[in-house]
């Protein structure tokens, strides 16, 4: 069932409980959280915190529509890439305790600029192929965001979906990110059309300009 929800991390000044109560008062019935809201990676509690958060939102009449994984599959060191895939598996397992099956995911960030752009596609493709093996096991779906620069091309996103070959890999369609990147409106309309059958989650945003000239509405 589709719903219009709200994202927790865009509410500065509210802790999680305060956010839940205020969002419910306004009339929201669903929300997106970040993995850090439900799981302490350094002190894994096997999903207990995630279940507590689910109960919190249940108590105010809201459900959790998606959780952002905070993954990064563009890594200069193979061991770091492998660690990200292993972490992603655990993230998918933890997220199931919240009641959602949507894992909002990034492709990668190339932090430090250490990885040549020509290697990005192969790293992300291999990572999502690895992840596809356990999506069925945990009954979750990946909503790949068009965020930043590594995944901000609808033709490439569709190509990735086709090459991975899993019906559990789709997109989070952010309505402003393509424009932020610099694509013109005709190209963005094209992206919307080809990706529409694969949309699992949406970020409704607006603004003007691109990159350093971007201004949110």
Residue 1's pLDDT band (cuts 50, 70, 90): low
| Residue at 66 is within a domain | yes
Range of lowest pLDDT (1-5, 94-98, 192-196, 202-206): 1-5
Partnered with residue 63 across adjacent β-strands are: 30
In angstroms, the first-to-last Cα distance of the chain is 28
| Residue at 83 is within a domain | yes
Number of other CB atoms surrounding residue 132 within 10 Å: 16
User: Max alpha carbon distance in the chain (Å)?
Assistant: 48
Number of domains in the chain: 1
Render pLDDT for 24-63 as a digit per residue (tens, 0 to 9).
999 999 999 999 999 999 999 999 999 999 999 999 999 9
pTM: 0.94
Considering only CA atoms, which of 107, 198, 193 is closest in space to residue 145?
107
Number of other CB atoms surrounding residue 94 within 10 Å: 25
Mean pLDDT of the chain: 96
Render pLDDT for 88-97 as a digit per residue (tens, 0 to 9).
999 999 999 9
- What is the domain range of residue 150? 6-205
| Residue at 213 is within a domain | no
- Could you tell me the CATH number of the domain that includes residue 197? 3.20.20.150
């Amino acid at each position: 069932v589709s719903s219009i929800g709200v994202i927790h991390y865009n509410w500065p000044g509210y802790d999680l409980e305060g956010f839940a109560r205020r969002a419910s008062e306004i009339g929201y019935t669903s929300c997106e959280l970040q993995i850090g809201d439900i799981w302490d990676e350094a002190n894994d509690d096997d999903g207990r915190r995630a279940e507590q958060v689910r109960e919190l939102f249940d108590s105010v009449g809201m459900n959790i529509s998606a959780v952002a994984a905070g993954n990064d599959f563009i890594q200069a060191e193979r061991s770091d890439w492998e660690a990200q895939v292993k972490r992603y598996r655990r993230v998918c397992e933890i997220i199931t305790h919240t009641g959602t099956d949507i894992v909002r995911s990034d492709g990668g960030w190339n932090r430090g600029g250490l990885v040549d752009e020509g290697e990005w596609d192969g790293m992300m493709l291999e990572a999502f192929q690895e992840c596809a093996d356990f999506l069925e096991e945990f009954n979750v779906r990946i909503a790949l965001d068009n965020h930043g620069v590594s995944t901000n091309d609808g033709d490439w996103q569709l190509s990735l979906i086709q090459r991975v070959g899993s019906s559990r890999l789709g997109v989070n369609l952010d309505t402003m990110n393509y424009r932020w990147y610099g694509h013109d409106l005709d190209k963005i309309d094209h992206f919307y059309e080809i990706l529409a059958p694969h949309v699992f989650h949406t970020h409704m945003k607006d603004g003007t300009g691109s990159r350093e000239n971007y201004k949110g509405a």
